[in-house]
Structure 1
Amino acid sequence: MRAVMKFIIAILIAAVSLVTYWCNRQENDFTGQMQHVDMTVEQEIALGLQTAPQMASQYGGLHPDEQARAQVSAIGQRLVQNTRVNETPYKFDFHLLADEKTVNAFALPGGQIFITAGLLRRLSSEAQLAGVLGHEIGHVVGRHSAQQLAKAKLTQGLTGAAAIATYDPDNPASRSGAVAAAMIGKLMNMRYGREDELESDRLAVRLTGEAGYDPRAMIEVMRILEEASGGASGPEFAQTHPNPGNRIAEIERAIQQEYPNGLPAGLVE
């Protein structure tokens, strides 16, 4: 009887998780794609603003060089003001973090975008910086954080249901079922993360070109990131980011699709 009740509870939890996920669908005004999200744009903006100070403090706060911070902000705003991003409701702010050792850039929901000094000092051109910031803008307008939160809730519900259905307090070996379910959920979210990264690369190609920057600079950014990471380690499915070599191929493909007749003259390199 206990086994039957556990199974029924697990089915109910899984069903609620699936119905909630599939019913929360919205069309992304920027990309035109239908997405599973369960928060509004206003909630994204509020969440990003609320989280920004805490995230900045983890990287030593903002960089003391006001000129460098202003440069990052100016290039970011050029990407916003000269593209369709300007028509979105997001409020973009671009921040240079003081951390000199960490090579990273990231976006919070709603338009708060950060790049570490450790990454900035490795870049050698304005177009490379534009490529990095364009990629992070892509995450925001792609609503990737909202998607990830919805998917995380779904996988949490499904793995929780699986754990309830398989766990037997009288059989310690059954714990392995719960562990396996949790690992499957983790790998699912990693896969979604890679897809988001590749979409942001494609969006960055479009945004940098429209703002007057040479999108080919993003290829060199990928090489810089690969060098900084010491090369890809382990199988790609177990990494939170796609292999840089695969991203280069995707960027080259996106450039060809955006500019089938060749890149226009006069782009900032």
Structure 2
Amino acid sequence: MKRKGNSKIKLLIGAGIIIFSLFQYFSNSEVNEFTGKKQHISISVDDEIAIGLQSAPTMAQQHGGLYPDQKYQQFVDQVGRKLVHNSIAKQTNYKYDFHLLKDAQTINAFALPGGQIFITYALFSRLENEDQLAGVLAHEIGHVVGRHSAERMSKQNLTEGILSGVPVGIDPSTVQGAAALATIINMSYGREDELESDDLGVKFMIDAGYNPIELIGVMKIIKEAAGPNKTNERLSTHPDPENRIEKIKEAIKKYKNSSS
């Protein structure tokens, strides 16, 4: 009888944790003034900037540090500044910095919260022209303007809260099911973020005078780098490059028509 009572208490505590996590997540709701998207974010812009600045040296170190050729770094800075100064990114309070990483093996680019943007030399060296570099950087600026990192942190806190609310001693298959659901939710949101950043990237390129068609060339480079053993889209945080290309074409048509 006592064990049954303990189980009920555990269930009540677990339910309380889950309800609190849900309340905390949904009570922090706001509309992004630059994208019009409703988001659940629990940190301020100043917090995002501080997190990005604090994390930047560690991220650079993980990729072998910064690329030593200042000429290439200045080129990346120049293209990045042109995109920021000619788009809505300039109206945000973020401090945009662009970093060329020494890593010659990993084809990647990413953005930290608050405007710290990175591209590896492995990707940089495969780009064919300035417009393709602009496409990569514009996409990453889109992540910053879209506040995707901050939104992902809130979602991560929500899923961790839900998982911690699953009572100890409950059927292991239930715990595994909850964990799998949390993973699927985070992956789905990751794919949405990528598509929104592609869309914003196209707009930023057009605003800055770059040819957005070249972003399709970047997708082809990414697809080629993934090779035949790429992860199925449903199991990945990134959409398939072919699907991204179709969405990019739609965005180009949309923004070119709106500017004409």
> How far is 1:101 from its partner?
0.6
Question: TM-score, structure 2 length as denominator?
Answer: 0.95
State yes or no: 1:211 paired with 2:208: yes
* 1:11-44 deviation digits (Å, cap 9, x = unpaired): 1011000100000012212112221000000000
* Secondary structure class of the residue paired with 1:150: helix
Match of 2:102 among 84, 92, 98: 98
Secondary structure, aligned partner of 1:21:
helix
Q: For residues 47 and 101 of structure 1, what CA distance do their matches in structure 2 show?
A: 27
Unaligned runs of 5+ in 1: 169-173, 265-269
Partner of 1:259: helix, strand, or coil? Answer: helix
The one-letter code of the counterpart of 2:92 is: T
- Tell me the CA shift for residue 187 of structure 1: 1.5
Partner of 1:186: 183
Sequence identity percentage: 48
- Is 1:158 the counterpart of 2:162? The answer is yes
RMSD: 1.4
1:225 aligns with 2:217: no
Instruction: Kindly report which structure 2 residues correspond to 1:1-269, keeping only aligned pairs within 5 A, or say none.
Output: 1-162=5-166, 164=167, 167-168=169-170, 174-231=171-228, 233-260=230-257
Structure 2 alignment gaps of length 5 or more = none
Deviation at 1:160, TM superposition (A): 2.0
Structure 1: which amino acid aligns with 2:15? I
Give the letter aligned to residue 202 of structure 2.
Answer: V
1:118-169 CA distances to partner (integer Å, 9 max, x unpaired)?
000110010000000000000000000010000111111112223x16x34x
User: For 2:114, what is the secondary structure of its paired residue?
Assistant: coil
Alpha-carbon distance in structure 2 between the residues aligned to 1:138 and 1:159: 31
Q: Distance in 2 between matches of 1:231 and 1:259?
A: 34
Instruction: Give the distance between the partners of 1:106 and 1:248, measured in 2 at CA.
Output: 19
Aligned residues: 256
CA distance in 2, matches of 1:250, 1:60: 34
More deviation, 80-89/43-52? 80-89
Measured after TM superposition, the shift of residue 232 of structure 1 is 6.2
Secondary structure, in 3 states, of the residue corresponding to 2:39? strand
Distance 1:232 1:23 in 2: 41
Q: Which residue of 2 aligns with 1:171?
A: none
CA distance in 2: counterparts of 1:23 and 1:198, whole angstroms: 26
- Give yes or no for contact 1:39–1:146 (8 Å, CA) kept in 2: yes
Q: Distance in 2 between matches of 1:232 and 1:81?
A: 39
SS of residue matched to 2:257: coil
TM-score (norm 1): 0.92
Give distance in 1, aligned partners of 2:38 and 2:103: 37
Whole-angstrom distance in 2 between the partners of 1:17 and 1:35: 16
Choose 153-162 or 204-213, whichever is displaced more.
Answer: 153-162
Structure 2 distance, partners of 1:33, 1:227, is 32
Q: In 2 relative to 1, CA 27–94 (structure 1 residues): closer, same or farther, beyond 3 Å?
A: same
Look up the equivalent residue of 1:48 and give its one-letter code. G
Deviation of 1:49 after TM superposition, in Å, equals 0.1
Do the aligned partners of 1:226 and 1:232 also contact (CA within 8 Å) in 2?
A: no
Instruction: Note the C-alpha offset of 1:231.
Output: 4.3
